[in-house]
Amino acid sequence: MERAASELNFERAAQTRDRILAVRRVLASQFVQGERGDLDVLACVSRNGKACVEVLFFRGGMSLGNRSYFPRFLGEATEAEVLRAFVLQHYTDKAVPTELLISHAIEDQALLEEVLSDQSGRKVKLVCNPRGDRAKWAEMAMRTAESALSSELAAQATINARREDLRKLLGLRECPIRIECFDISHTQGDFTVASCVVFDPQGPVRGDYRKFNIEGVAPGDDYAAMRQALTRRFARLAKGEGIAPDLLLIDGGIGQVQQAVDVLDEFQMSSILIVGVAKGPERRSGEESLIVAPSMHEIFPGSASLALHLIAQVRDEAHRFAITGHRARRSKAPRHSTLDDVPGIGSKRKKALLKAF
């Protein structure tokens, strides 16, 4: 600001002054009166078999925001049990603040404090039912958790409606639990990568995602690339590794779907339903057709179909994951120059030529 003013650039100096004032206001709003240390505020709520843990972060007396977590749990767990399991897992690889304000009393609280203290190398204290301003933060965390859980349950209701519509569209007796989708990505046939993404009734299961670097196929041969990826995936399944999908989605037309049919027949897994997702003639979203194996008959759900919305979500995630893997592989590949193909030109001469011309 002072440099701009000394250069008589008063308009820029005024803009910089306004930015300084804005930063000061933000910092002032983040400061928590009466607090100087580090602490997290955790609140847990559960409803309809789903739980939300809301965490408010305070460091050095400053509010650093909040985050909602939706831990998965089996059976009928109480909110205190969910919170206890969350604390144990969440702070396994994270710095633990000196205090944790918790919404529910945790069983073996003293033991948990000892574990966290040993992990962090300093005393960690868990506080339930705080008073004063801290009680307001605990109440704020609880309200935020309730709101986040309501939004999550609404989103889950939409997912359930889409899955039910998919069941009806494909004429299934039950909704498919585990959905896998394969896609292929490359640049003019080079650095080909296949992706496999997994969805269950709660959404993406990112821990089960897989990428396959495709080798030994002709550049641009998507059929061979798809066959190699599927063979590698289901060869492992045949050995007892992993979980079989209820529905296998293939991004592509009849050719790609036929590769999936052949691979699953080879491993005697023809009971798995295979559906191809083919783009429409204009390649617009909502105009896709579904190719159902083994009859290869086509279904045109239309843009209003909830089932197609779910399939498009899974397909788009597979596409994104494949492109991410492809770009990562391409970025690691050594740079190639046409000079590399000229006999008698080594690395030093190539460098000199490139620099000169």
Kindly state the tokens that stand for 205. 């299961």
pLDDT at 229: 95
Dihedral sign for Cα atoms in the order 265, 268, 269, 273: positive
pLDDT for 191 equals: 85
Please tell me the distance from the alpha carbon of residue 73 to that of residue 91, in angstroms, as a whole number. 18
Neighbours of 222 (CB within 10 A): 22
**H or E element at residue 190:** strand 190-200
What pLDDT, on a 0 to 100 scale, did the predictor assign at position 75?
66
Residue 263's pLDDT is 96
68 in helix, strand or coil? Answer: strand
Please give the pLDDT value at position 130: 85
Q: Name every residue whose Cβ is closer than 8 Å to that of residue 343 and which is 6 or more positions away in sequence.
A: none
The H or E element that residue 218 is part of is none
> How far from the centroid of its chain's Cα atoms is residue 139's Cα?
30
Question: How far is Cα 200 from Cα 294, in angstroms, rounded to an integer?
Answer: 24
Structure tokens at 153: 């349950």
Give the pLDDT confidence score for residue 132 in this predicted structure: 81
What's the pLDDT at 202?
A: 84
- What is the residue-level pLDDT of the chain in tens, covering all 357 positions? 888 888 888 888 889 988 988 887 766 555 455 556 788 999 999 988 889 999 999 887 777 889 999 988 766 789 999 999 999 999 988 888 989 999 999 888 899 999 899 888 889 999 998 888 788 889 999 999 999 999 988 888 889 999 999 999 999 999 999 999 999 998 877 889 999 999 998 889 999 999 999 999 898 899 999 999 999 999 999 999 999 999 999 999 999 999 999 999 999 999 999 999 998 877 788 889 999 999 999 999 998 999 999 999 999 999 999 999 888 888 776 666 788 889 999 888 988 988 898
CA distance linking residue 99 with residue 35, whole number of Å: 12
Q: Which of 339, 341, 333, 334 is nearest to 351 (CA)?
A: 339
Instruction: Please give the pLDDT value at position 21.
Output: 82
